[in-house]
Amino acid sequence: MTRWGILATGHIAACFAADLRLVPGAELVAVGSRTRESAEKFAQQHDVPRAYASWAELAADPDLDAIYVATPHAAHHEAALACLAGGKAVLVEKPCTLDLPTTTELVETARARGVFFMEAMWMRTNPLILRVLELISDGAIGDVTHVRADFGVAGPFPPEHRMRNRALGGGSLLDLGVYPLSLAHLVLGPPQHVQAWARLSPEAVDENTGIVLGWDSGAVATLSCGMVGATAITASITGTAGRIDLPEPFFRPGSAVLHRLDAEPETIPADLTGGGYQYEAIEVQRCLAAGLTESPLVPHAATLEVMTLIDDIKARIGVSYG
């Protein structure tokens, strides 16, 4: 049995708590927040035995095996450090932190302590996405030449909303753009060439961003994210012998469509249960049972490489959280 704690009490925390019920061998035993009222309300809503009024108290609970950090991303670094200091396995919501130096500190701290650490990039543990990667590896679409993905939401968001609040790591790149970037990285690895442009909000966070990545192989990726209009939130992966389309939302699709040259399109069903968060919890538990301190599906190197790319793009579009 893996005994879980959840740090934070917002929407994503609630989604994770619901999906954790679908995970064999998982037990949600504690929740921590910065206020006792919030922690106790969440505990009551989700039938959690223990509620803590501080992150440190949660991290110090001797009966916990793993903690899911579900705060807004500006607080990921501080919260995850507290959990690692308590010797707990950590699953931290994406993006891992606001920048590469703080992400690197978390990875190095986890490695130094010999504690499991993983970014909650759930797309990398999704069974259908893993099947798509198998098809690509098996040559179903030939050599990959192009990845296209978008993630835009309509808004509008008031200035104090976390999407526009610079102090909370606002903007579309960190919140939404991490998905198209992670898909391109998942398929092609780190790019050798990067170009980006964005329109910034009055708060100096990106509200509409376009990204073009290039690889020395000749492959390209055209990606976008924004909070000024609802895009299709779809993706396609094109190769020399075909294409795979991922419908909305591409990071948790209900199916995929394989287009081979000179063949009828083939629909690949997802056959998924729950909201999709359970698969990252299953991966954490699998790794803990095997004595691993990082996941082969969401390795530290991938987290660091994507954050390196995000920092590069932030510099190009003029966004800073310092």
What is the tens place of the pLDDT at every residue in 183-202? 999 999 999 999 999 999 99
**Mean pLDDT, the chain, integer:** 97
Q: Taking residues 307-315, what's their average pLDDT?
A: 98
pLDDT of residue 293: 98
Distance CA 55, CA 302 (A): 27
Distance CA 129, CA 250 (A): 9
The structure tokens 């390795």 sit at 299
Q: At what angle do helices 100-113 and 76-85 cross, to 10 degrees?
A: 10
Confidence of residue 64 (pLDDT cuts 50, 70, 90): very high
pLDDT of residue 272: 86
The structure tokens 């390209």 sit at 220
Pairing of strands 266-269, 255-260: antiparallel
**Closest alpha carbon to 61 in 136, 7, 131:** 7
SS3 content of the chain, % helix, strand, coil (to 5): 35, 25, 40
Q: Taking residues 284-297, what's their average pLDDT?
A: 98
Distance CA 225, CA 95 (A): 14
pLDDT of residue 53: 97
Q: Taking residues 126-155, what's their average pLDDT?
A: 97
Query: Is the confidence at residue 322, as pLDDT, over 80?
Result: no
- Using CA atoms, how far residue 55 sits from 12, 108, 139, 214, in Å, is 17, 21, 47, 41
pLDDT of residue 114: 98
pLDDT digits (tens, 9 = 90+) for 7-51: 999 999 999 999 999 999 999 999 999 999 999 999 999 999 999
pLDDT digits (tens, 9 = 90+) for 232-282: 999 999 999 999 999 999 999 999 999 999 899 999 999 888 999 999 999
The structure tokens 């308590």 sit at 86
The structure tokens 């790319």 sit at 309
Which two three-digit tokens encode residue 109? 């701290």
pLDDT of residue 88: 98
Distance CA 181, CA 171 (A): 15
In SS3 terms, 116-142 reads as: CEEEECHHHHCHHHHHHHHHHHCCCCC
Q: What is the pTM (predicted TM-score) of this model? A: 0.96
Question: With b meaning 16 or more CB within 10 Å and e meaning fewer, what string describes 94-124?
Answer: bbbbbbbebbbebbebbeeeebbbbbbbbbb
The answer to whether the bond into 159 is cis (omega within 30° of 0) is: no
- Contact between 59 and 67 (Cβ < 8 Å): yes
Distance CA 52, CA 7 (A): 9
